[in-house]
Amino acid sequence: MVTAITPGATLEYSLAEDEGPDKTVFILEPLDPIVAAHVKDKLFVYHLNKDKSPEDEASISFNKNELDLLSFRLGVKGWRNFRDDSGKEIGYRTESYGIPSVGPRPLLDRRLLVYFRPSWISEIAAKVQGESFLSEDDRKNSGEPSH
């Protein structure tokens, strides 16, 4: 028997390097199938040449960083105990992101990205992608905890 995905269900996640009693907890939401398809479509981009001449070569771009950043921004739904270096709590904000044929979806405000190390974005994006893109069997084989 398979268990249906619960739309809007969230999970809590702390970074691997975050140790101690006052961990920062990120609230993550796996991407629904429509959003996941849109995000995965951002991974590869096919470029035609400017002149569209058959003699000129086309190219394909591999956009892993864009995939991670978009997964991160769409998947993070909040946090607890995330503070700047003076100890002030950093507030969570979103902005609207339009997905063609779907409509607007909230994502983490781009102005908040300055508070995150690139390695944190990659780690959290991997968690969101694992929850969104992997089957239960894939998750078990990868060592990812199931939900």
The pLDDT of residue 29 is 94
Its pTM stands at 0.78
Q: What is the mean pLDDT of each run of 10 residues along the chain (147 residues)?
A: 83 94 95 85 67 64 82 96 95 94 92 97 94 62 48
pLDDT of 135: 57
pLDDT for the residue 140: 57
> pLDDT at position 60, please?
65
Distances (CA, A) of 31 to 23, 42, 63, 75, 105: 24, 14, 18, 6, 11
Looking at residue 62, its pLDDT comes to 66
Q: What is the pLDDT of residue 18?
A: 95
- CA separation for the pair 136, 147 (Å, rounded): 9
SS3 sequence, the chain?
A: CCCCCCCCCCEEECCCCCCCCCCCEEEECCCCHHHHHHHHHCCEEEECCCCCCCCCCCEEEECHHHHHHHHHHHHEEEEECCECCCCCECCCCEEEEEECCCEEEEEECHHHHHHCCHHHHHHHHHHHHHHHHCCHHHHHHHCCCCC
Q: What pLDDT is attached to residue 139?
A: 47
